[in-house]
Structure 1
Amino acid sequence: MGYVYTRDNVRIFYRLIGKGPTTILFIHPPGMGHITFKQQLPLSDEFRLLYVDLRGNGKSDKGNVPIRFSLLSRDLYDVCHELGIEKVVLCGYSNGASIAMEMAIRYPKLVERLFLIGAFSEVNSFLLGSEFLLGIMASKLNMKHLLANVISNAHAYSKDFGQEMAEYFLQADADTLYQMYVKGLSYNCTNSLPSIKCPILLIYGQRDYYVHHYQYKFMTRHHNTKVVYISGARHQIPTKHSTVLNMIIKRFIHNQMIEKRESSNSLD
């Protein structure tokens, strides 16, 4: 673990764990930090895992420029560049999936595959929009404790982890949270989906009903999109359904490796 300085000299916290030819970069939603993906650590037996706190979140510094998803994706590119990582698989969760899509659009040579958990290419439903408005209001009024309790309780698979997540959430800068929620509400990459060159795997909870309809925006605009539903799951897949998620990630990366080898052999 350590820190990388971005091109505008903002210190970004990272952890690089594991071994293997494939690096998975995890992208968290506002405030939650890299510990969102703590239950994905078993994947380090076969892959390199790159955990990052986005600027203004967790242990990363805030900087002094307005938050934009293009800026956050650039930060992640800078982290990869400084660590000498030339290819990554992106795993973005919820609004972190939007940042993953922005990164794939802007840096196609870096991104090999997208795992998008509970993803949406735009916010066009009342329920999803209401969640963003709650985050905007609470962070604007500096009610981080409320947000920390709500989000940690929703994601906790144990009392200890719930407390750890709440404490980690409180490290986030309130103004950064506000800006991330505002940008998340207005972000729209639907018309840019055709420009994403890599395969996309959408991972939805079977009971996460209010984001299910977004799959059709992906499937009608992106030629290589697949969808997986996790039985009995709502939105909190990385923490509460980690065993199934880890199996899905592992299987699809292995399948991609096989496809690459077969394609290379056929060319020979």
Structure 2
Amino acid sequence: MPYIVEDGVRLYYEEMGSGTPILFIHPPGMGHIVFRHQQSLSSHFRIIMYDMRGNGKSSPSNRPITIPLLADDICRLLNALDVKQAIICGYSNGGSIALEFALRYPHKVKKLILIGGFSEVCTALLRYEFLLGIYAAKIGAISLLANVLAKSHEKNKKGQQEIKQYVRLVNKKDLVNMYEKGLTYSCTERLPLLRMPILLIYGARDYYMHPYEKLFRKNVPHAKIIYIENARHQIPTKHHCELNGILKTYCIT
């Protein structure tokens, strides 16, 4: 299995294809498997997917998790793979890590793509979702969380089972830590520092995420925003055809 060992932690990754590198960043608990429908993009790009520390096949963290630490892990991974610059694509709370990486290492980011992304948690519904995740992880209800994530992301039983099994690999302590740090993280005031091309992708029916568009429009007016019709939050899995078409067009141009 492909691993890099950095900072005393083994990070599992998969890569396929050639050309411009695109790195995908998953939300807490899900691991790289949430992007399995994006593997077909490898016919046009060098696709890199990985499991964050404490998630999937990567080893547990050897220190308390922070968003900057997770951003530094991405830098270590890209350096190990000899990637000088990549298109960075973060999904949901993975977008927070993508934002932090872009702010810390702007020279390594060719383009930044956020799917259902946000620069801080400042709405009641999103905050409630984080609190539910923290509570579920603290009481050890990982199987319940795995079932919820699987059913919300996949329509068929085979896909649901694969996600369930992968989510169950998460380290409980690290998951709690990631949810807590994600809840309090904010980079809104630093958004104007971002100069690279930015694409924001939201589901047209993902209403509780729409307020975050205003934060981006105000602070990074050069960002391009696309809404996927009839989509909610689970775009990489349930609307992968539309997403892959958008990514292909945007990343090639």
TM-score, normalised by the number of residues in structure 2: 0.98
**Aligned-pair CA distance for 1:63:** 2.6
Q: Deviations over 1:171-221 (max 9, x none)?
A: 000011100100111011100101122111110000000111111111111
Q: Please tell me whether residue 176 in structure 1 is matched to residue 194 in structure 2.
A: no
Partner AA of 2:130 in structure 1: F
Other-structure match for 1:19: 18
2:3 match: 3
Amino acid corresponding to residue 247 of structure 2 in structure 1: I
Determine if contact 1:198/1:224 at 8 Å carries over to the other structure: no
Name structure 1 gaps, 5 residues minimum. 256-268
Partner secondary structure for residue 35 of structure 1: helix
Distance in 1, Cα, partners of 2:162 & 2:209: 28
Name the CA distance, whole Å, in 1 between partners of 2:192 and 2:156: 40
Letter in 2 for 1:246: N
Question: What is the rounded CA distance, in whole Å, between the counterparts of 1:193 and 1:169 in structure 2?
Answer: 31
**1:249 is the counterpart of 2:243:** no
Q: Aligned AA for 1:226?
A: K
Moved segments of 4+, more than 3 Å: none
Letter in 1 for 2:205: R
Q: Give the greater-gyration-radius structure (CA).
A: 1
Q: Which residue of 2 aligns with 1:110?
A: 108
The worse-fitting range, judged by mean Cα deviation, of 32-41 and 193-202 is 193-202
How do 1:62-81 and structure 2 match up within 5 A? 62-81=60-79
Report the residue type matching 2:41 in the other structure. Answer: L
Paired position in structure 2 for 1:240: 238
1:100 aligned partner: 98
CA drift at 1:103: 0.3
The answer (yes or no) to whether the contact 2:61–2:174 under 8 Å persists in 1 is no
Cα distance in 2 between the residues matched to 1:96 and 1:207: 20
* Cα distance in structure 2, aligned partners of 1:177 and 1:76: 18
Paired residues, number: 253
Query: Hey, what's the Cα distance between the residues in 2 that align with 1:220 and 1:145?
Result: 40
Tell me the equivalent position of 2:163.
165
CA distance in 2, matches of 1:47, 1:157: 27
Amino acid at match of 1:9: G
Offset at residue 157 of structure 1 (A) = 3.1
The residue aligned with 1:150 is 148
- Structure 2 gaps, min length 5: none
- 1:192 equivalenced with 2:190 (yes/no): yes
CA–CA separation in structure 2 for the residues paired with 1:217 and 1:131 = 20
Please give the alpha-carbon distance, in whole angstroms, between the structure 1 residues aligned to 2:85 and 2:58.
23
Q: TM-score, normalised by structure 1?
A: 0.93
Alpha-carbon shift at residue 223 of structure 1 (Å): 3.8
- Contact 2:8 2:62 (C-alpha < 8 Å) held by counterparts: no
